[in-house]
Amino acid sequence: MFESETIAAIATAVVPQQGSIGIVRLSGRDAIAIARTLFQAPGRQAWESHRILYGYVRHPKTQQLVDEALLLIMQAPRSYTREDVVEFHCHGGIMPVQKVLQLCLEQGARLAQPGEFTLRAFLNGRLDLTQAESVADLVGSRSPAAVQAALAGLQGKLATPIREARATCLDILA
């Protein structure tokens, strides 16, 4: 596993008064602990992997309500990065997601660099290099053909022939 700090970022496009959901994602060994300090789930909801909890994001010191949200927990290695991952599904718009991100950073997460979640997925063996490049291509795609090409790369259709050619070359050299 790629050992590093816990990172956080807004995982959805943020446009003023556009979109009803905004997602703040954390990845790293402290992701769940940070979420526990910020998120209050009413009742007896289980904090288990691949569960969605309903509740409230509150400031950890003042208990001021920040947002009503859903929390998705994905424990390592069953996540995109193969690290513990938590996603706050907040109300869309700039203010709710920025406030939740700010609280995550105040609790010890570091702001993720562009592409850092995918970098961690690559370094932790979740994606190969062609798949990681395909994620970037998919995010930046501007045509249906570009989307299809990126999805093919993400499914490994570019890496498979390369692996087969490598195996053939190694057999010939053996």
CATH level 2 (architecture), domain 7-122: 2-Layer Sandwich (3.30)
What's the pTM value of the predicted model, to 2 decimals?
0.86
Structure tokens that stand for 147 in this block: 């989307």
Query: DSSP letter at 43?
Result: S
114: cis peptide before it, omega within 30°? no
Q: Give the whole-angstrom CA distance, residue 115 versus residue 106.
A: 22
Q: Where do the structural domains in the chain lie, given as residue ranges?
A: 7-122, 127-173
Shortest CA distance to 1 belongs to which of 33, 30, 29, 34?
29
- Over residues 126-146, the mean pLDDT reads 93
- Over residues 147-158, the mean pLDDT reads 90
**Whether the Cβ atoms of residue 66 and residue 39 lie closer than 8 Å to each other:** no
Write the pLDDT tens digit of every residue in 35-71.
999 999 999 999 999 999 999 999 999 999 999 999 9
For residue 132, pLDDT over 60 is answered with: yes
